Amino acid sequence: MALSFDEYSSYDALGLAELVRTGQSTAVELLDAALARLEAVDGKLNAVVHRHEAWARKRAAGPQSGPFAGVPFLTKNLEQQIAGWPHDSGSRALRNQVSPFTSPTIARWLAAGLVPFGQTNSPEFGSKGITEPELHGPTRNPWDTERSPGGSSGGSASAVAAGVVPAAGASDGGGSIRIPASWSGLFGLKPGRGLLPEAPASPEPFHGYATQGVLSRSVRDSAALLDAAIAAEPSGSYLSALPQRPLLQEVGADPGTLRIGFSDFSPLRPDGASTEAATAMTTAAHLAESLGHAVEEAKPQINWTELTESFVTLWTAKAAYNLAELARLGVDVSEVEVDNRILAAMGSSVSAADLFRARQCWHEQTVALTKFFEKYDLFLTPTTAEAPPKIGSLNTSATLKALSKLVLGLRGSRLFSISNIPREVIMKNYRIVPYTQLANVTGRPAMSVPLHWTDTGLPIGSQFIGPLGSEPRLIRLAAQFEAAQPWKDRRPAL
């Protein structure tokens, strides 16, 4: 049957798969509905930067199998590759690149039956918590098109929030699943380190900081999509302990009485989170308490300043490596955005000793968080420190860009290392998203749940971080929240 948008959007991904499985609809009809919605809204949102309708139609017309057979899907235009598709990572320097292989996680989702038909917008190299690359332009938030949906998985978040697809590919190296989940009214779970291995395509991404995942409207979709991607990879860096049973089976299971500590402290925010973000956190705390959980104000004994500094050390060193590798491959790195060249210039001054010192800091913070989890089952914070920012509000000023270009033209990496230019660029972005990096540094799973909307109708999420292997616990709690305060059918007026 042909589906109207209201019919199509009333189902989550598993619900759409059930329509195909029972013969109530077909993969082609679902794809038609997704493409029609994309055509209706993407002129306002700019969520999808590459479309592959012919490729998707051929797949949808073929035999369907797997738990998500026939379900329309979108992949992120960053490290989620399909052989033969473009893969520019949001950069003008790579605008003619075509992927020679399919990423391991995407291969697993294809095996589960998904029908990808496009690639979603991402900031260049995923380096910001907003999605405004110069190559493709800014992605806009369906809840308020003057604002950002977050990043780096902003295109995916915008498309899911607008009802183009029920779930979309995302990844998280410093909050890139949870930040857009917070600002787009979605559920986003960052799995723990190593649970979704990327080998043999690449070594452990970003020293283990980064992982693949999804953004979705329903908890059960995220659970089932992670189930499809979780794997034991012999060529990986290590073998993670896999969940004892599918995460989908945790949806609806009793989470028990959880001990939850909460705090909105961050050295980048001396006065705490904004009123809206603090309200989102306390809303989650009160809801958890009403459901029988033990909730109190508490925070781990993390050295937050050192954690931030060590994260910046790795981030800039990786930027320096990325640009050096691109140059080695013959790419014109002068076409890379100025902000990323600033980060790379700063990273070029990072020494081997700096990296080892940062790694030691990560271990110390991991130990501190582990001690916190001896008393508490979960740590609750705001996901983001503010409501969604206005498009362009985090841009580097024209004056600073001009100065940066001048210094870069003089090959002034040393000048950058002793100036405030890189710090201004970095901290301008980090001050609104200071809570998510802890889970990346320590490798712990973390989720953002959409329990609060501001008086002006903007979503802002709450983050829960758990110990190693607590993905089942997080799913059980998220499903309990979803049942108590449903969000799946809450839609922007777009």
pLDDT at 407: 63
Q: Is residue 476 part of a domain?
A: no
16 and 149 share a domain?
Answer: yes
pLDDT digits (tens, 9 = 90+) for 184-234: 999 999 999 989 988 777 767 777 889 999 999 999 999 999 999 998 888
Distance of alpha carbon 2 from alpha carbon 8, whole angstroms? 9
pTM for this predicted structure:
0.96
Residue 73's domain spans which residues?
Answer: 5-256
pLDDT of residue 399: 67
pLDDT of residue 398: 74
Catalytic residues: 76, 152, 176
Coil/strand/helix, residue 115: strand
CA 185 to chain centre: 13
User: What is the C-alpha separation between 372 and 300, in angstroms, rounded?
Assistant: 5
Which segments in the chain show pLDDT lower than 50? 418
Query: 365 near 415, Cβ under 8 Å?
Result: no
The token pair at 420 is 């405030």
How many Å apart are CA 19 and CA 7, to the nearest integer?
11
pLDDT at 418: 45
Q: Are residues 68 and 174 in the same domain?
A: yes
| Furthest-apart CA atoms within the chain: distance in Å | 65
Query: In terms of residues, how long is the chain?
Result: 494
Check whether residue 171 and residue 319 sit in a common domain.
no
470 upstream amide cis, omega within 30 of 0 = no
Read off the CATH number of the domain in which 235 is found.
3.90.1300.10
Q: Collapsing DSSP states into helix, strand and coil, what is residue 281?
A: helix
Domain limit, last residue, from 233, 256, 279: 256
Same domain, yes or no: 121 and 63: yes
385 lies in a domain?
no
Q: What pLDDT sits at residue 167?
A: 98
d(CA 68, CA 13): 7
pLDDT value at residue 380: 98
Residue 392 exposed, middle or buried by CB count within 10 Å (0-12, 13-18, 19+):
exposed
Say which amino acid occupies 187: F
Smallest CA-to-CA distance from 207 within 344, 89, 318, 363 is with: 318
pLDDT score for 239: 78
For 341, the token pair is 């060249």
* Same-domain pairing of 349 and 408: yes
Do 207 and 320 belong together in one domain? no
- CA proximity to 475, closest of 314, 255, 290, 299: 255
Q: Residue 364 — φ and ψ, nearest 5°? A: -65, -40
CA distance readout (Å), 380 to 178, 279, 384, 436, 442? 13, 13, 12, 11, 16
Give the tokens for residue 144.
């308020």
Residue 475, exposed/middle/buried by CB under 10 A (0-12, 13-18, 19+)? buried
Q: Which pLDDT belongs to residue 460?
A: 98
Q: How many beta carbons lie within 10 A of that of residue 250, not counting itself?
A: 23
Whether omega for the bond prior to residue 200 falls within 30 degrees of 0, making it cis, is yes
- Rounded Cα distance between 161 and 472, Å, is 25
Question: What's the number of CA atoms in the CB half-sphere (13 Å) around residue 201?
Answer: 18
Total of domains in the chain: 2
Q: Do 48 and 164 belong to one domain?
A: yes
